[in-house]
Amino acid sequence: MSSSNAIAIAQRLGLDLVEVAPDADPPVCRILDYKKFLYEKRKKEKEAKKKQHTVTLKELRFRPHTDDHDYNFKIKHAREFLTEGNKVKATVQFRGRDIIYSEKGKELLDRFAEDLQDIGKIEGKATLEGKRMSLILAPAK
């Protein structure tokens, strides 16, 4: 149909002629209410955005001499973060001469990963960066 005929039909119906697929050969147009079309499009985009979940990185800090009660409390928080779909970064902070206990920090992070292996998977080995040793866990699907 020629564009002049389509425009005439759209005006007669009190609607708009909207180009839907400009890249097609020939271009595809539809006769519809443009304001209603934009409203529904925005509504669909908003609904899709609601259903999205952004993954955030939650950090838990330990010291090489972290007590069992504190450790268990942080494990509980890590479980909550992983079940919500967030990543967890466990960091052992070494202060002053604590760096001589780097092996103890490594054991702590290994124990942390082992305790959470049922709901999380390790993204990389524990790495020592300056005076911090860290490990990242992602939620297991």
Instruction: Please indicate, yes or no, whether the overall pTM of this predicted structure exceeds 0.85.
Output: no
Pairing of strands 16-21, 87-93: unpaired
Residue 61 shares a structural domain with residue 15: no
Nearest to 106 by CA among 131, 78, 134, 85: 134
The two structure tokens encoding residue 110: 């290994």
Count structural domains, the chain.
2
Which pLDDT band holds residue 135 (cuts at 50, 70, 90)? very high
Residue 101 shares a structural domain with residue 129: yes
- The range of the structural domain enclosing residue 16 comes to 3-48
Residue 70 shares a structural domain with residue 31: no
Residue 38 shares a structural domain with residue 83: no
pLDDT at 2: 85
pLDDT at 87: 93
Average pLDDT over residues 114-118: 91
pLDDT at 78: 94
Written as one string, the DSSP assignment of the chain is --HHHHHHHHHHHT-EEEEEETTSSSPEEEEE-HHHHHHHHHHHHHHHHHH-----EEEEEE-TT--HHHHHHHHHHHHHHHHTT-EEEEEEE--GGGGGGHHHHHHHHHHHHHHTTTTEEESS--EEETTEEEEEEEE--
pLDDT at 24: 87
pLDDT at 43: 95
Residue 124 shares a structural domain with residue 70: yes
Interval 38-80: pLDDT, tens: 999 999 999 988 887 777 899 999 998 889 999 999 999 999 9
Residue 37 shares a structural domain with residue 63: no
Find all residues with CB under 8 Å of 16, minimum gap 6, and list them: 10, 31, 32, 33, 34
pLDDT at 62: 92
Nearest to 102 by CA among 131, 79, 123, 73: 131
Which pLDDT band holds residue 112 (cuts at 50, 70, 90)? very high
Residue whose tokens read 């209603």: 36
Average pLDDT over residues 126-137: 90
Q: Is 85 left (phi over 0), alpha (psi -120 to 50) or beta?
A: left
Last residue of some domain: 48, 68, 84?
48
